[in-house]
């Protein structure tokens, strides 16, 4: 048995639930039917391929297809409790609670990351996909224009995206590369701290309502 660490609660707080529900509806359920299915993954894959000009048959296209198949397989394993090919919002939240419990249970002193900074395997791949989606110029960092541009496609007002970017980039003093983006994403998915900068990574500024 791993060491039981008392510093975070496996139960999701209301704040954490709000963030996860927002992410589910905004970025995962792309066809907006209320469930997460392979169809949604296909739409995500199509989006990055279309935007990047990766055509059927090219290496990037094939790689992206494989990436999403893997993400979906893992996500379905962990989240689709009744095996009906759909992850409902209830199953989604349950999956995150189980992940919290498991991370506490498996935590070891030698872990490079504390239990509350771990991400599920499939999410590591998804975070990288998300980074590449934002990094339109492919220069290894996200700038304010890219962030605003990509979020506009998800219906986020430009002024909110701009403000969010300024917040987590420390008024443009911090380079938003993949390593920092991963940190911010971990805040978003795992942290219960309302002051964590990663809370703003989806362009939503307020989870109080």
Q: x/- binding map, residues 109-148, to Ca ion, per CB under 5 A?
A: --------------------------x-x-x---------
Told to check if 31 binds Ca ion by CB under 5 A, we report: yes
* Residue 61 CB partners (closer than 8 Å, separation 6+): 49, 54, 55
Rounded CA-CA distance 197/48 in Å is 26
Burial class from Cβ neighbours inside 10 Å (0-12, 13-18, 19+) for residue 110 reads exposed
Minimum CB–partner distance for residue 28 and Ca ion (Å): 8
Q: Are 62 and 54 in contact (CB under 8 A)?
A: no
In this structure, what token pair is assigned to residue 192? 């219960």
Q: Which is nearer to Ca ion, 82 or 171 (CB)?
A: 82
Q: How far is the CB of 88 from Ca ion (least distance, A)?
A: 6
In sign, the C-alpha dihedral spanning 62, 67, 73, 79 is negative
Minimum distance, C-beta of residue 125 to Ca ion, in the bound complex (Å): 19
Which residues, 50 to 109, sit near Ca ion by CB under 5 A?
80, 82, 84, 86
The verdict on 23 binding Ca ion (CB under 5 A) reads no
- Per CB under 5 A, 172 contacts Ca ion: no
Q: State in angstroms the smallest separation of the CB of 194 from Ca ion.
A: 29
**Contact of 72 with 37, CB cutoff 8 Å:** no
Question: Minimal distance in Å, beta carbon 206 to Ca ion?
Answer: 25
Decide if 86 contacts 36 (C-beta within 8 A). Answer: yes
User: In angstroms, what CA-CA distances link 82 with 17, 88, 111?
Assistant: 21, 10, 32
Based on the shown chain and the rule CB under 5 A, indicate whether residue 33 belongs to the binding site for Ca ion. Answer: yes
Comparing CB distances to Ca ion, the nearer of 42 and 192 is 42
| Nearest residue to Ca ion, scored by beta-carbon proximity | 137
Contact 103, 123 (CB under 8 A): no
Closest CB to Ca ion among residues 74, 117:
74
Residues of the shown chain interacting with Ca ion in the complex, contacts defined by CB under 5 A: 29, 31, 33, 35, 40, 80, 82, 84, 86, 135, 137, 139
């Amino acid at each position: 048995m791993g060491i039981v660490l008392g510093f975070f609660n496996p139960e999701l707080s209301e704040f954490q639930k709000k963030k996860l529900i927002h992410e589910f509806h905004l970025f995962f359920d792309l066809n907006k039917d209320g469930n997460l299915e392979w169809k949604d993954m296909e739409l995500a894959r199509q989006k990055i391929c279309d935007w990047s000009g990766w055509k059927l048959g090219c290496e990037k296209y094939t790689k992206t297809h494989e990436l999403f198949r893997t993400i979906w397989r893992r996500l379905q394993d962990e989240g689709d409790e009744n095996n009906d090919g759909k992850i409902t919002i209830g199953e989604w939240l349950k999956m995150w609670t189980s992940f919290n419990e498991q991370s506490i249970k498996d935590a070891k002193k030698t872990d490079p990351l504390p239990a509350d900074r771990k991400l599920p395997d499939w999410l590591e791949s998804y975070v990288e996909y998300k980074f590449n989606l934002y990094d339109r110029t492919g220069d290894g960092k996200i700038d304010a224009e890219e962030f605003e541009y990509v979020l506009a496609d998800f219906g986020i007002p430009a002024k909110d995206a701009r403000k969010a970017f300024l917040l987590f980039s420390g008024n443009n003093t911090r380079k938003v590369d993949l390593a920092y983006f991963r940190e911010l994403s971990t805040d978003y998915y795992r942290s219960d701290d309302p002051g964590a900068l990663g809370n703003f990574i989806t362009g939503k500024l307020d989870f109080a309502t």
